[in-house]
Amino acid sequence: MAIADASPVKTTCPYCGVGCGVLAKADAGGVVEVRGDPDHPANFGRLCSKGSALAETTGLDGRLLYPEIDGRRAPWDEALDLVAGRFSETVRIHGPDSVALYVSGQLLTEDYYVANKLMKGFIGSANIDTNSRLCMASSVAGHRRAFGADTVPGTYADLEQADLIVLVGSNLAWCHPVLYQRIAAAREKRPDMRVVVIDPRRTMTADSADLHLPVRADGDVALFAGLLAYLADQGALDAAYIERHTTGFDAALAAARAFGRMEIANRTGIRPADLDRFYRLFAQTPKVVTVYSQGVNQSAAGTDKVNAIINCHLATGRIGKPGAGPFSVTGQPNAMGGREVGGMANMLAAHMELGNPLHRERVQRFWKAPAIADKPGLKAVDLFRAVADGRVKALWIMATNPVDSMPDADQVRAALADCPFVVVSDVLAATDTGHYADVRLPAAAWGEKDGTVTNSERRISRQRPFLPLPGEARPDWWIVAEVARRMGFRSAFSYAGPAAIFAEHAALSAYDNNGARDFDIGAHAAIGTAEYDALTPFQWPAPAARETKTAQQAKAPGDIRFFAGGGFFTPDRKARFIAIAAQAETWPQDASALILNTGRVRDHWHTMTRTGKSPRLSQHLAEPFVEIHPHDAARHGIGDADIVRVATPRGAILVRALVTRRQAPGSIFVPIHWTDQFASNARVGVLVAPATDPHSGQPALKHSRATVTRFPAQWYGFAVLRHKPDGIPADYWSLARCEAGWRVELAFAGDRDWAGLARGLFAASPEAETLVYHDEALGRHRFACFEGRRLAAALYLARDAVAVSRSWAVEQLAADCPDQPTRFSVIAGRPVAGASDRGATVCSCFGVGVNQIAAAVGAGCTTVAAVGERLQAGTNCGSCRAEIRGIIDAHRLQAAE
């Protein structure tokens, strides 16, 4: 993948909050190449599987290229006038709180800034919330409780300098893979470094840890309360730090002690010996970083979990020091930028407080705004409730797909269907949310858009375009500004480009600041277009030279960490310990129900609007599934690869069973990625209750109660198709991109007209030749359709799971089939585990399958490096190394048996 001639553009990966630098370019024919930017301090050239496959996601198939009103193409002027008119009219008749924006951590900072400004300063309501509410609102609330501001104290380098890394509710190997790789590289250099993973599931991240604590769902508060008490008992506190820089320690310790050993054992479900091992390790290791993510945030006790963790770091003074601190890693590429512009319903711009009249007055003065929101707006779950009951009458959704990603997702869908006016800005024409839009606005996508993002370590990087704007797509900031201007706010939204917006944002961060607020990038307040275009990644704070007073004074020059020497953003400049009482366990005690945990897989991103376009990324896990422990599977009569109905009082979905001991008994895991665009019925949001954390309003997306039953499938099917099928008449189906087309899994509760089904799916041309094979006795039907020398489509049906190798079948779409023997071999199907069958993809960079790796291991490759040498697997992005190690270990176990 050499990028030669034309110099590539330095930009940033649009996926996770690691914020890796990417070198990208497109040739004259539009062929895109990407690789890691060796100069970017987040990744130093590394990329994960998703980042490496970015070039496969920039095609225009499925893009929304023109504005649409009620499904018909409309000129921009008409669409913008309509949106501005309806919003203005609704505000005039029903007041500012009758309209709302629902935005996203995938907007650029400039887009986000303009949307927030329009809503809070010009419409005069704080009804702007974001999918970040589902993502890290609990971390924000926890930071603000403890530090007085939403400050992430540490940096990525701390992960390499630490002697102990504790990963809480974080599947770093899959979700922040480049950070995981940085840790893995540091461990190779310093084998004494320890990693502890606290997660109910045995994830790929847990596989490579020194200690995995399979905590019971939401046992984290008890676990860290136990740690605080242990630290006090063992004399492992930093009394000087507590005394000088904090308040509330005694109350926090008393609350922690109130849990007691028994209670902690019950709530965590962890063996006391393992807990002690972890507590001892933590107490004895000064350089410890605790990384946490959605297993912490997405909980009814999310904010308490965050503060339970921070309490332990404050108590040991392990914060803001090299190799030590609590570290909330953010999910989306610009979650942090959204926090900086104050894009949530309870925040104000530039880390100012909506509840503080001085701050409100200051922001209004700076914006020269006619109004300023004077109370918090509705948080995501409440926002959609207000849409449902008619309080919100006009809603504009940008860069997020709430019909899939919200809890109680069918209620969200119904609310949108009933809402008088829905606008959706998206890059794709068909999404589950866009379906309910009155107006669809085509946004610029990654590679086309131009602006900045902030990663998890407060580093601001440019996203730069290397592709032209297709069709009539426009940047999100432009769309918002045009609507604002048409609502009558002309001068405040007359930006020449993103540089002007960024400069205004930087100026506001420094306005009346003087070190009183953490977020200060005043050094860039006068930035011009040329400097903006040349801007290299930098971390905040970056105050203008004259402002390096007060709070910054405590720091050594160039020190980019916070709080090692105190200087918190509370009125007394001290951190606050939070006394956390045990919450009553309120789960319904339905013995047959299992805890439903939800989350991510390695190679897909959220609702698959981008990764679903990549053949490589779609091969790792090609179907929606439920992970279930063998005991629970047996108890409910479920076998591996059965279709399972997972149900809660809110709804039911159909997914494939993946029976595995990685899942703890009593709980199941379903990934979040499959939407109505890719599966018959697998939107897990439909099942999840809209319970929220009382402090942050973040929904408890990892903890519902669900039942499982085997779906009584009589027939199973598998198809490969050159063309995307248009409507699939099966009780269960799921669709995935592959190299030369699409692959489809199917299941049926009863008999069908199989020939008719094949005809419908194939939609073949009249010249096509179809071969057919029936075996009534064995219960098999097979159809293969050829156009010229190529296979156009094949369908395999069986009474049991179809035993045809998926990787082999997918390859046949691209193979040459000139004569009857090769055509009959397609109909015959290569059985699973056949000699040259690659098996399910493990390494998506080089398309290496599980069977190939197993064969290499069998032939003597006993290390990940040796497998890499032979097959290349794991040698590019490294995201699959944990899986390769798993295959080696399994082989070793087998050999020992």
Ligand X SMILES: Nc1nc2c(c(=O)[nH]1)N[C@H]1C(S)=C(S)[C@@H](COP(=O)(O)OP(=O)(O)OC[C@H]3O[C@@H](n4cnc5c(=O)[nH]c(N)nc54)[C@H](O)[C@@H]3O)O[C@H]1N2
Structure-block tokens of residue 208: 């490579």
Cα separation of 328 and 337, whole Å?
15
Structure-block tokens of residue 390: 């008619």
CB of 699 to ligand X, least distance (A): 8
Which does residue 599 touch among ligand SF4, Mo ion, ligand X, none (CB within 5 to 8 A, set by kind)? ligand X
CB of 833 to ligand SF4, least distance (A): 32
Structure-block tokens of residue 702: 């990892």
| Residue 135 vs 551, nearer CB to Mo ion | 135
The stretch near Mo ion (CB under 5 A) out of 127-135, 423-431, 621-629, 752-760 is 127-135
The angle at the Cα of 152, spanning 148 to 153, to the nearest 5 degrees, equals 90
Structure-block tokens of residue 482: 């045009």
Which residues within the stretch 11-30 sit at the binding site for ligand SF4 (CB under 6 A)? 13, 15-16, 18-20
Three-state secondary-structure class, residue 615: coil
Helix (H) or strand (E) holding 338: helix 335-340
- Amino acid sitting at position 32: V
Burial of 893 (0-12, 13-18, 19+ CB in 10 A): exposed
Is 402 among the residues that bind Mo ion (CB under 5 A)? Answer: no
Per-residue binder mask for ligand SF4 (CB under 6 A), 36-75, x = binder: -------x---xx-xx------------------------
Is 203 among the residues that bind ligand X (CB under 6 A)? Answer: yes
| Residue 316 vs 461, nearer CB to ligand SF4 | 461
Which residues within the stretch 307-366 sit at the binding site for ligand X (CB under 6 A)? 331-332
Phi–psi pair at 394, nearest 5 degrees: -145, 125
Structure-block tokens of residue 711: 């779906």
Bridge pairing between strands 68-69 and 72-73:
antiparallel
CB of 879 to ligand SF4, least distance (A): 8
Which does residue 621 touch among Mo ion, ligand SF4, ligand X, none (CB within 5 to 8 A, set by kind)? none
Look-up of token digits 């991510």: 600
What DSSP string describes 34-50? EEE-TT-TTTTT---HH
Per-residue binder mask for Mo ion (CB under 5 A), 79-118, x = binder: ----------------------------------------
The stretch near Mo ion (CB under 5 A) out of 324-332, 402-410, 784-792, 820-828 is 324-332
| Residue 20 vs 310, nearer CB to ligand SF4 | 20
Return the DSSP state at 216: P
Is 399 among the residues that bind ligand X (CB under 6 A)? Answer: yes
Bridge pairing between strands 715-721 and 790-798:
antiparallel
Which residues within the stretch 171-210 sit at the binding site for ligand SF4 (CB under 6 A)? 176-178
The stretch near Mo ion (CB under 5 A) out of 57-65, 326-334, 436-444, 495-503 is 326-334
The angle at the Cα of 223, spanning 218 to 227, to the nearest 5 degrees, equals 155
Among 17, 96, 331, 599, indicate the residue that binds Mo ion (CB under 5 A).
Answer: 331
Is 156 among the residues that bind ligand SF4 (CB under 6 A)? Answer: no
Distances in Å between the Cα of 43 and the Cα atoms of 39, 62, 183 are 8, 31, 12
Which does residue 328 touch among ligand SF4, ligand X, Mo ion, none (CB within 5 to 8 A, set by kind)? none
Which does residue 174 touch among ligand SF4, ligand X, Mo ion, none (CB within 5 to 8 A, set by kind)? ligand X
Bridge pairing between strands 841-843 and 790-798:
unpaired
HEC readout, 772-825: EEEECCCCEEEEEEEECCEEEEEEEEECCCCCECHHHHHHHCCCECCCHHHHHH
Is 684 among the residues that bind ligand X (CB under 6 A)? Answer: yes
Beta bridge partner(s), residue 444: none
CB of 11 to ligand X, least distance (A): 13
Is 135 among the residues that bind Mo ion (CB under 5 A)? Answer: yes
Q: What is the dihedral of CA 28, 30, 34, 40, to 10 degrees?
A: 70
Which residues within the stretch 112-141 sit at the binding site for ligand X (CB under 6 A)? 131, 134-135
Is 333 among the residues that bind Mo ion (CB under 5 A)? Answer: no
CB of 662 to ligand X, least distance (A): 10
CB of 670 to Mo ion, least distance (A): 17
For residue 781, the tally of other CB atoms under 10 A from its CB is 21
Structure-block tokens of residue 635: 């108890």
| Residue 145 vs 176, nearer CB to ligand SF4 | 176
Is 19 among the residues that bind Mo ion (CB under 5 A)? Answer: no
The angle at the Cα of 363, spanning 96 to 573, to the nearest 5 degrees, equals 120
Contact residues toward ligand X (CB under 6 A) are 16, 104, 106, 131, 134-135, 168-171, 174-175, 198-201, 203, 215, 217-218, 220, 293-295, 298-299, 331-332, 398-402, 404-405, 425-428, 431, 443, 445, 449, 476, 597-600, 602, 604-607, 609, 672, 684-685, 688, 701-702
Contact residues toward Mo ion (CB under 5 A) are 135, 331
Contact residues toward ligand SF4 (CB under 6 A) are 13, 15-16, 18-20, 43, 47-48, 50-51, 176-178
